[in-house]
Amino acid sequence: MKKIFILCLISLTLGIAKSEAQNLSSSYQTAVGFKIYPGAVSVKHFVNGNNAIEGLGYFWQYGFRLTGLYEIHGNINGAPGLKWYIGPGAHIGYYNNNWTRDYPYRDNSVAIGIDGVLGLDYKIKGAPINISFDWQPSFNLVGYSYFEGGWGGLGIRYAF
């Protein structure tokens, strides 16, 4: 099941990247801010016209999780400043004893896994504000193995 999930995610990402023949230029290069759910510091940087990397840092009473995403962006016709994006990623985290108190079936330990992302990105014209909304499913491979479909959310960033 894990292999099928990984292969599907990679195939979808590569297919979309290949179908994007035109060079899409972003209206900003780098943006720094936060995602509201489940609460993360976010840094997004375009490495070329339509490809960006995003780093997320989640810190809460259970420990922390760091996530890296590679995002492929595409224009939405008739909506200037609005783009869709999709891509793969990975995460690493550590969960402390508070985690096992509330979730006794999960050992407090290191967690390593893969992520995907699907979302919308909007740069407000004339303002240094970038807003995104996405879904970020993840599958934990090291530590307690589980699929989680609840990551992602609303991102608000300062763009420069």
Q: Average pLDDT of 19-29?
A: 57
DSSP secondary structure letters along 104-120? TTS-SSEEEEEEEEEEE
| Dist CA 71 CA 52 (whole Å) | 5
Is this structure's pTM higher than 0.75? yes
So what's the pLDDT on residue 120?
98
Opening angle at CA 47, ends 41 and 50, nearest 5: 100
- Model confidence at 7: pLDDT above 70: no
Coil, helix or strand at residue 80:
coil
Give Cα separations from 88 to 6, 11, 13, 59, 126 (angstroms). Answer: 9, 10, 7, 22, 31
Neighbours of 67 (CB within 10 A): 22
pLDDT tens per residue, range 30-45: 999 999 877 899 999 9
Confidence at residue 15, expressed as pLDDT on a 0 to 100 scale = 47
Give residue 101's pLDDT: 62
DSSP structure class, residue 13:
H
For the segment 142-155, what is each residue's pLDDT rounded down to a tens digit? 887 788 887 888 99
Mark out the alpha helices in the chain (DSSP H runs): 2-19, 97-102
- Express each pLDDT in 89-125 by its tens digit: 999 998 877 665 666 655 567 889 999 999 999 999 9
User: Domains in the chain, ordered, with CATH?
Assistant: 2-159 (2.40.160.20)
At 132, list the tokens.
């995104």
Torsion of CA 21, 26, 27, 30, to 10 degrees: 180
Comparing 151 with 134, which gets the higher pLDDT? 134
Structure confidence at residue 96 (pLDDT): 77
Q: How high is the pLDDT of residue 87?
A: 98
Per-residue pLDDT tens over the stretch 56-81: 999 888 789 999 999 999 999 999 99
The amino acid that residue 89 corresponds to is G
